[in-house]
Amino acid sequence: MAGPGALGYVLTMHETFSSPARMGFALLVLVLAGLWSTPAFSATALPGRAAARAAGPTARVSSNRTSSPSVNPSSNPTPTGAPAKGADQAGATGAATGMATGMASGIASGLTPVLPPGMAPGMVSLTFDNALAGVYNNAYPVLKAHHLAATVGVAPGKLDPANDDFMTLDELHEVAAHGWEIASNGVHHKRATDIPRLYSDEAKLSWRLDDPANHVFQTTYEYAHIACVLENGDPLTPANDLEAMLATPGSYFFDRTIEELHVRPRSNSLDPAEVKLSVCSHERELAESRDILGRLGFPARVFVAPFNTWSPELKALAGKYYPLAAAAFSTPLTKETFDPLWISRVVVREQDTAASIIRLLRVSALENREWVVLAFRNIGRPMGREPWSTEKFRKVADWLAENKVRTVTLSQGAALMAAQVPAAHAPANQTMANQTAANQTVPVQAPANQTMGNQTAPLPPPPAAN
């Protein structure tokens, strides 16, 4: 770096040259002279793009992105207010220059830069939907080798030891013991707009006796899917056709062609009011998934929207049961855009290359200091939507580890982001301080005798962590 004599020369030039153009020329000469006089002339001493070219492709410094509110690391911040004089001005100039140089040096050396107060830290979160088996078999070993954690969404209604498409309960406890966060995908991973939205919508279905001889009830059902059907709070079994339903008390059949839902309850009562039939709503999925995961040993604080379906109305509903919620809007997060109930994720598509994802992370997380939340589905298994190969995933994980990128769970990232957002700018009733309290005190507002809690056998205690 240039010595104190050079800094004094800057101040002399400020007093001597009245023309801004002359002053700019003098500063340019000074910068070039100072850099070339540096004993160890290295890539970290070069400003902007020159540093990126000298340091290699993994240290490329971003071009000015107009959408980013953060300071470009290759330029000094513009001081505000009247310039100081003498020693005070020299100290201020040195501090500003040192901050910018340090940030550029951090990027050039492959490290996540140390950010000044008031700026959201650049970081990355890895999320997985639906707890598919490929996540445990292929993604988990890769991340474990680098001591990296992730957030995995779980639909507890899909936890079935006989179904090897999904992670098992023991596997979920294993990844949680290694720092992974368990989030909710709802009980059955159903799109919010495909089922009734509220508890009150469940009561709007008008049941009528259709076949007294077989105790069959029927209702018009105008939604695309069924999360579950309950009889007095207990789940009924779906049947493949009407004939199978008639032969099986405690089952239902949904005829999508005519939008009619048929139920053969366990009860022999012919009074719908006594049978107490209901179809599960999105609100029930929110509340019961949180409670079931809690009983399994996973205090879920995050709701990850199935199929990334989200809206202001769904956000408000999720906020009754969770302090955090995430969906996919393909935009990295900044302190200006952060909303704990609207955490934006970037979906990783099957055709995306590892290089394209690494490029996104370099620009958004390292250079622009944004929070990038990646949404994966299955890893290493060609099953489901948008599977990704283990080799591509390993390249991304290797890059994160090699560049020491801050990699966090959704709860960790939200806490860091919230620390950067003044309380006055946080969404109403959604500051991180009262979110945690609300998450532990909001009751599950289910109608009497209509919780899904009694639909499952007593849950086994979680296994001891290895």
**pLDDT at 419 (0 to 100):** 86
Residue 422 has a pLDDT of 54
The single-letter DSSP state of residue 379 is B
Q: How confident is the model at residue 114 (pLDDT cuts 50, 70, 90)?
A: very low
What's the helix, strand, coil split of the chain in %, to 5? 40, 15, 45
**Is residue 428 situated within a structural domain?**
yes
Q: Is residue 242 part of a domain?
A: yes
What is the pLDDT confidence band of residue 330, given thresholds at 50, 70 and 90? confident
Spell out the SS3 assignment of 298-341: CCCCEEECHHHCCCHHHHHHHCCCCCEEEEECCCCECCCCCCCC
215-229 pLDDT, tens digit each: 999 999 999 999 999
Same domain, 408 and 345: yes
Reported as a pLDDT band with limits 50, 70 and 90, residue 38 is very low
In-domain check, residue 356: yes
* CATH number for 389: 3.20.20.370
- At 445, the pLDDT band (50, 70, 90 cuts) reads very low
Q: Is 194 helix (H, G, I), strand (E, B) or coil?
A: helix
pLDDT value at position 288?
A: 97
Residue 41 has pLDDT above 60, yes or no: no
Is residue 113 domain-resident?
no
Token pair belonging to 450: 């209509």
Whether 406 has a pLDDT exceeding 50, the answer reads yes
Q: What is the pLDDT of residue 121?
A: 53
CA 147/CA 170 separation, integer angstroms? 20
99 and 133 belong to one structural domain: no
Same domain (yes/no): 270, 291: no
Q: Return the pLDDT at 441.
A: 28
295 & 432 share domain: yes
Indicate if the pLDDT at residue 280 is higher than 70.
yes
Contact 346, 396 (CB under 8 A): no
What 3-state DSSP class applies to 447? coil
- Backbone torsions φ then ψ of 211, nearest 5 degrees: -140, 90
Residues 73 and 133 in one domain: no
Question: 324 vs 308, 320, 334, 341, 344, CA distance in Å?
Answer: 14, 10, 16, 5, 11
Round the average pLDDT of the chain to a whole number and report it: 73
How many residues are listed for the chain in this entry? 466
Q: Please report which confidence band the pLDDT of residue 383 belongs to, taking 50, 70 and 90 as the band edges.
A: confident
The domain in which residue 273 lies consists of 203-279
Instruction: Tell me, yes or no, whether 171 and 212 share the same domain.
Output: no
Final residue in a domain of this structure, among 227, 247, 279: 279
Number of domains in the chain: 3
Please indicate, yes or no, whether residues 422 and 332 belong to a single structural domain of this protein: yes
pLDDT at residue 49 tops 70: no
| pLDDT of 185 above 60 | yes
Q: Over 80: is that where the pLDDT of 231 sits?
A: yes
- 271 and 293 together in one domain: no
Structure tokens at 446: 């289910």
The answer to the question of residue 463 being in a domain is no
Return d(Cα 21, Cα 2) in angstroms, integer. Answer: 22
Q: Is residue 438 part of a domain?
A: yes
- Compute the average pLDDT of residues 136-148: 97
Shared-domain flag, residues 304 and 369 = yes
135 and 225 belong to one structural domain: no
Of 133, 122, 110, 98, give the one whose Cα is nearest residue 398: 110
Residue 465 in any domain: the answer is no
- Whether the pLDDT of residue 109 is over 90: the answer is no
**Cα–Cα distance between 22 and 14 in angstroms, integer?**
10
pLDDT at residue 331 greater than cutoff 90? no
Does 321 have pLDDT greater than 60? yes
One-character DSSP codes across 233-273? TEEPEE-SSHHHHHTSTTEEEEETTTTEEEEE-SS----HH
In 114-201, the DSSP E strands lie at 123-128, 151-154, 181-184
Q: Is the pLDDT of residue 450 over 90?
A: no
In the chain, the percentage of residues whose pLDDT exceeds 70 is 64
Burial (0-12, 13-18, 19+ Cβ within 10 Å), 320: middle
Mean pLDDT of 239-256: 96
Residue 318 has pLDDT above 90, yes or no: yes
Q: Comparing 464 with 363, which gets the higher pLDDT?
A: 363
Say yes or no: 8 and 101 in one domain. Answer: yes
Which residue matches tokens 């001891």?
464
> Does residue 461 lie within any of the structural domains?
no
Give CA–CA dist 339/153, Å, rounded: 19
Residue 59 near residue 110 (C-beta atoms within 8 A) = yes
**Domain finish residue from 108, 131, 156:** 108
pLDDT above 60 for 4: no
Please report, rounded to a whole number, the percentage of residues in the chain having pLDDT higher than 90.
58
Q: Which of 279, 306, 321 is the last residue of a domain?
A: 279
**What does the pLDDT read at residue 421?**
61
- In this structure, the answer to whether residues 264 and 287 fall within a common structural domain is no
